[in-house]
Chain A
């Protein structure tokens, strides 16, 4: 049996209580740069990401603050904007008709996460806060002990992916994040003093260890999506198998049509660096065009240039670079003509 390390469970009824529990247990002083196993208190929602990591001893918190009993933690509410509580399961997100109709990229991304069982358990908040992944990190304690660990768990050790790298190169691997980024999402954070709202794009950093610009004593409570009139969006994913696997390249795309012209556009990638990334140059290549082959080609080139995969997931660097271009082309073609889904990419 692969057992969890021992811990105490705290089950707050509100997000504010959860934030207070994090604070009371010293989360504010914690810093991931001292190595992930040093975190003494952590949050858990669905547990589908945290528990495997705890079984492999990447984390061994003494206290787990569970969000399982937080009131109204799982609901989707429409109020002009679409408000998705952080505890909403990925199955609920993928199945919600409002999400499917108007925030298509998010429904597709949620439906492509792992397996049905894990989507029944895992939450949107958990996916947004998914730990970064790496072939040198996501291994058993036995394997990592034999190899001598890496920077993410043991800061005195080098990054095994690129030994001269000053930072951890673990990979952002959440499917829903590029979809949320192209839909213009914002994140609501609760701490012991109060709440704050940040653009989701500002929540991430190009660092495999300190991948989030949120404090250890903050709780993600809600994702808000702005109105989506005129927008069409999609998310495409490359992975080894048609189920189970994390993305090794993922592209979210959204365009806002005004007549036959693209008035606004967003392209975001995941699994191609330590942070999910909005590719600004791809937006510039699309706005004002009719999404013709030339514009799509230029946007795909911009994504290809921005993609920085390292040799630390399955697949090869060149395969994932090529995938970033191909997925962008396919995504944009599908937004141009719904009937062209799966059609050949445009000629370049």
Chain B
């Protein structure tokens, strides 16, 4: 089997990489592009921690083949902070997504393993529905398992980010 040259648009940048056709988007993001913010959990579609946005829609990177993406826009948790703003460190932190700030303030991340998937799912929700009800938030993140928080802090963080946006 030979690798195939593929151009993916990740966090606004075109990235040309040689990939094995049977490697999933999750493997390509983590192993080829070094974007380890996207976590691998069950890798079978049963946990939601590998959620990324493809053209703004939450999908599971563990079950997505890069070859099928075409020129779609892939957004990972690395693309949340300072979206559109250059720089590193403090400069970049100053432009954290309101969801990231609210998650930190509300203790919505404990072990943190579900957090990247939660953040991306919540971002898609707020982009589509800037003032979601608690029921709409629960429905939106019903594909993201968290075993630490009991979800309440996550609901509150998303509500806080919505109120600030």
Interface of A, helix, strand, loop or mixed by DSSP: loop
A243 in contact with B22 given A48-B63, A121-B59 (CB within 8 Å) = no
B21 close to A117 (CB less than 8 A): no
B44 close to A52 (CB less than 8 A): yes
Which of B40, B45, B48, B58 is close to A1, meaning CB atoms less than 8 Å apart?
Answer: B40
User: Hey, which chain A residues are within 8 Å of B48, CB to CB?
Assistant: 115, 117
Interface residues on A, range: 20 to 34
Say whether A9 faces chain B, with CB atoms less than 8 Å apart: yes
Say whether B27 faces chain A, with CB atoms less than 8 Å apart: yes
The answer for the CA separation of A60 and B62 in the assembled complex, in Å, is 17
B44 close to A2 (CB less than 8 A): yes
Q: How far is the CB of B163 from chain A (nearest CB, A)?
A: 23
Say whether B97 faces chain A, with CB atoms less than 8 Å apart: no
Within 8 A of B (CB), among A80-112: none
User: Hey, which chain A residues are within 8 Å of B68, CB to CB?
Assistant: 11, 66, 68-69
Within 8 A of B (CB), among A101-147: 114-118, 120-121
A120 close to B59 (CB less than 8 A): yes
Say whether A347 faces chain B, with CB atoms less than 8 Å apart: no
The answer for the CA separation of A45 and B142 in the assembled complex, in Å, is 23
> How many chain B residues touch A (Cβ–Cβ < 8 Å)?
29
A117 close to B22 (CB less than 8 A): no
Q: CB-CB contacts of B136-149 with A at 8 A, as 1s and 0s?
A: 00011011010000
A-B contact count (CB 8 A): 82
The answer for the CA separation of A24 and B46 in the assembled complex, in Å, is 35
Say whether A227 faces chain B, with CB atoms less than 8 Å apart: no
Which of B1, B60, B67, B145 is close to A118, meaning CB atoms less than 8 Å apart?
Answer: B60
Interface of B, helix, strand, loop or mixed by DSSP: loop
User: Hey, which chain B residues are within 8 Å of A7, CB to CB?
Assistant: 21-22
The answer for the CA separation of A63 and B63 in the assembled complex, in Å, is 17
User: Hey, which chain A residues are within 8 Å of B20, CB to CB?
Assistant: 6
Residue of A nearest to B142 (CB): A243
Which of B1, B44, B58, B140 is close to A6, meaning CB atoms less than 8 Å apart?
Answer: B1
> What are 19 A-B contacts defined by CB distance under 8 Å?
A1-B43, A2-B44, A3-B22, A3-B23, A5-B22, A6-B21, A9-B21, A11-B68, A47-B63, A48-B45, A51-B63, A52-B44, A55-B43, A55-B44, A116-B143, A117-B51, A117-B59, A121-B64, A244-B145
9 tightest Cβ-Cβ pairs between the two chains A and B: A115-B143, A243-B142, A68-B68, A2-B43, A52-B44, A117-B143, A4-B22, A51-B63, A116-B143
Residues in chain B within 8 A of chain A (CB atoms): 1, 20-24, 27, 40, 43-46, 48, 51, 57-60, 63-65, 67-68, 121, 139-140, 142-143, 145
- Identify 20 new A-B residue pairs, CB closer than 8 A, beyond the known A2-B43, A9-B21, A69-B68: A2-B44, A3-B27, A4-B22, A6-B20, A7-B22, A47-B65, A48-B45, A52-B44, A52-B63, A56-B44, A68-B68, A114-B143, A115-B48, A116-B139, A117-B45, A117-B143, A120-B59, A121-B60, A243-B142, A244-B143
